[in-house]
Structure 1
Amino acid sequence: MKAKKIAHKVAGGIALMTLLVFLSATLYSELTGNYALVAQVKSKILSPGLFILIPCLIVTAGSGFNMANGSKNKKIKAKAKRMPFIGLNGLFVLIPCAFYLNYLAQSDLFGFEFYLVQSVEVFAGLVNIFLISLNVRDGLRLSRKLTPKEQPAI
């Protein structure tokens, strides 16, 4: 069980950090106005970025659902309810956006369509960062050791 908890924490942390790097690199490259940098960022998000992010999300979700098996804890239930949305958002919004934006950037097509899809990707990315952050917060609260003052009276 300990190895599962460690894998869950490490993979979840890497997933969150990866999303934050994607968002930061995207915003920085856009703010520079350097289209070559934007194209490079879009390419790196696909590879190696997704090859880091996707396995981390799978390990996090799988280990989390496995550890939560049958739990009645409200925080665990809340974490479990968020994970399908995080996964679906990634699978049906973020990954297609990443591929299409990379295609547009490599084709030097930085017009309205690029920025519309970029806006969708940034918004969906922020949603996943928020939801994963809530899961991290709840996970930290669950794993925190209670001091004698915080322990419930019997």
Structure 2
Amino acid sequence: MNRQPLTVIHRTAGAVAFLTIAAFFSSTVYSEFFGDHALVVQVKHAILWCLPLLIGSMVLTGLSGNKLYPAKGKGVMGRKQMRMKLAAMNGTLVMLPAAVFLFFKASAGEFDAYFWTVQGIELVGGALNLSLIGLNIRDGLSLKKAKQPRQQAA
């Protein structure tokens, strides 16, 4: 079986997921520290519309990873699989509901204690997912490097 196309899908989807979360995180921080309420509303709206991209890339990353490495891994692969499960749970149980809640609160102009509490939770969750996916990218690159044939000294 030629695994190359699946490997490209896995790497691309993982990179898209990481960059999307980074964009959500940085645009949120920027809009709230340097923007006005109108910019916060625009950012929350953009995040809500881009959620399908993030969800799709996370699903593709997980599915392609499971296809490439179907057995429960130990060592690096086991850690990568565990991190992906944690990131998926965090995304599903914390990040997605928070994004929807914050969109509706911001759209209604309700920048109250509930908004800021959930916003703080969302930022912590985003930082966690960036860390988890970043560690998986690092470990994936180390696996790629380990598989490359070593050049013999001439």
With normalisation by structure 1, the TM-score equals: 0.92
For residues 149 and 112 of structure 2, the distance between their equivalents in structure 1, rounded to whole angstroms, comes to 54
Residue 12 of structure 1, CA deviation: 0.2
CA contact (8 A) 2:73 2:81 kept: no
Aligned to 1:58: 59
Residue 143 of structure 1, CA deviation: 0.8
Residue 148 of structure 1, CA deviation: 4.4
Q: After TM superposition, which residue ranges in structure 1, 4 or more long, deviate above 6 angstroms? A: none
Name the aligned partner's letter for residue 44 of structure 1.
A
Using the aligned pairs only, state the percent identity: 35
CA contact (8 A) 2:95 2:126 kept: yes
Aligned to 1:136: 137
CA-based RMSD of the aligned residues comes to: 1.3
Aligned to 1:82: 83
Aligned to 1:152: none
Q: Which moved more, 1:106-115 or 1:139-148?
A: 139-148
Equivalent position to 2:150, from 125, 137, 147? 147
Aligned to 2:32: 30
For residues 63 and 88 of structure 1, the distance between their equivalents in structure 2, rounded to whole angstroms, comes to 18
Name the aligned partner's letter for residue 150 of structure 2.
T
For residues 74 and 143 of structure 2, the distance between their equivalents in structure 1, rounded to whole angstroms, comes to 9
CA contact (8 A) 2:99 2:122 kept: yes
> 5 Å matches for 1:67-78?
67-70=68-71, 72-78=73-79
Q: Can you list the C-alpha shifts for 1:69-92, whole angstroms capped at 9, x where unaligned?
A: 126551111101111111110001
Name the aligned partner's letter for residue 147 of structure 1.
R
Q: Which runs of 5+ in 1 are unaligned?
A: 150-154
Q: Secondary structure at the match of 1:24?
A: helix
Q: Can you list the C-alpha shifts for 1:89-139, whole angstroms capped at 9, x where unaligned?
A: 000100000000000000000111110000000000100000000100000
For residues 53 and 117 of structure 2, the distance between their equivalents in structure 1, rounded to whole angstroms, comes to 26
Q: Which runs of 5+ in 2 are unaligned?
A: none
Aligned to 1:43: 45
Name the aligned partner's letter for residue 67 of structure 1.
L
With normalisation by structure 2, the TM-score equals: 0.92
Aligned to 1:17: 19
Q: Which moved more, 1:119-128 or 1:80-89?
A: 80-89
Q: Secondary structure at the match of 1:50?
A: helix
